[in-house]
Amino acid sequence: MTAGTGLVLGVSEFVAFVNQTLETAYPFIEVEGELANFRVSKNKWVYFDLKDETASVRCFGTIYALPGPLENGMLIRIAGSPRLHPLYNFSFNFQSIMPVGEGSIRRAADLLTAKLEAEGLFDSARKRRLPYPPQRIALITAGSSAAYADFTKIAAARWGGLQIEHYDVLVQGEQSPGQIVTALKQANEAVVLPDVIVLVRGGGSADDLATFSDERVVRAVASSRVPTLVAIGHEIDISLAELAADMRASTPSNAAELLLPDKKEELRHLKKTRAQLDEAMRLSVRAKKDGLQHMRQRLDEYLQQNLAAAERQIRSVQDLLAAYDPNRPLQQGYAMVQRGGYLIARATNLIAGDTVELLFADGTAGAHIIDIHKKRG
């Protein structure tokens, strides 16, 4: 295998030897350069050259590592490992790609915005109302960040009884998109679903915030079955994740303010409402009492009127009874004729020889009928 002073290797052995050396010396490298000859094969494999003024490197990977649409001329940063392929020579096998520099980041965001807008991911009609206030919150952010501290501090000050499940992720760098997508997936697959997912970070440069315009992150936010709120602490540009979310906030603190009521203000409102209800109850009771008093007066008047009417009716009946009192004519000098205890009202009811009894006001007298004269007419 050896001849003279050199080590002689077969071609396959040489490729394996070089790759072993590369794996040992350069297991993971980040490289920046200009994107050229970009193409996608079979909607899966990605090929391009990464170049600068004096050199060019062939690169290879899968479409799943792309942050979104790319085009030639962009400045990008790739991360991965160098490899010597047995058939296709040297290439850089990338695992992640990120646009760098404000111009490239903005251009990549514009391309992705147009693509996702055409799919309707930013339409207001698909946005959902967030529960208010939520009881269970999935918070996705870096645990050591000011964004985490600001959100949890404001949330605790504004409202109590919250359950905040924190998913600790990187919010910038090449590993950040994958970690955020995984956290969103875990929150959506929790045994007990949160009421809302909150994704926050503080401000930063365009490079720092590129994660939140990564297509994988944007699609994960848009497809979440749990309502989402995204708050990135910058005011100049809006990340695509914010456009895809059901609600956006200007800062992590503002996210807590939008999501949760202020318990002090709520207590003041409850106190004011209670005072209003007490006053309304007092007025209602007074109105009821006044109404009952009015009804009592009307009832008294009604009873008095009915009593007076009854008294008049009684007097009328008494007068009628007095008018029909049989003793009254007797007191005026008239007499009544009875025979055998029966009143005789007509002369034709008598016959000569009858014995009758005459009733006067002060006594009675017996009489004998001699003859009867009928009235002519």
184-223 confidence digits (pLDDT tens) = 999 999 999 999 999 999 887 777 888 898 889 999 999 9
What confidence score (pLDDT) does residue 231 get?
A: 93
Of 135, 204, 213, residue with least CA distance to 180: 213
pLDDT tens digits, 216-246: 999 999 999 999 999 987 666 688 999 999 9
Residues 272 and 237 in one domain: no
Residues 249 and 278 in one domain: no
What burial letters (b/e) apply to 142-164, b meaning 16+ CB within 10 Å? beebbbbebbbebbeebbeebeb
Residue 166 covered by a domain: yes
Residue 203 covered by a domain: yes
What confidence score (pLDDT) does residue 134 get?
A: 93
Provide the residue range defining the domain that includes 33. 9-100
Rg of the chain over CA atoms, in angstroms? 54
Please name the amino acid found at residue 170: L
| Rounded CA separation 55/32 (Å) | 12
What confidence score (pLDDT) does residue 377 get?
A: 60
Total domain count, the chain: 4
- Other beta carbons within 10 angstroms of residue 173's beta carbon come to 17
What confidence score (pLDDT) does residue 268 get?
A: 86
Collect the ranges in the chain with pLDDT lower than 50. 1-3
Residues 178 and 220 in one domain: yes
Residues 182 and 201 in one domain: yes
Residues 270 and 339 in one domain: no
What confidence score (pLDDT) does residue 372 get?
A: 82
Residues 90 and 13 in one domain: yes
Please name the amino acid found at residue 136: R
What confidence score (pLDDT) does residue 164 get?
A: 93
Q: How close are the terminal C-alpha atoms of the chain, in Å?
A: 179
Residues 6+ apart with CB under 8 A from 61: 45, 46, 80, 93, 94, 95, 97
Residues 128 and 170 in one domain: yes
CATH classification of the domain holding 45:
2.40.50.140
| Rounded CA separation 72/185 (Å) | 32
| Rounded CA separation 208/105 (Å) | 10
pTM of the prediction? 0.63
| Rounded CA separation 97/75 (Å) | 10
| Rounded CA separation 324/320 (Å) | 6
CATH classification of the domain holding 203:
3.40.50.2300
- Other beta carbons within 10 angstroms of residue 313's beta carbon come to 10
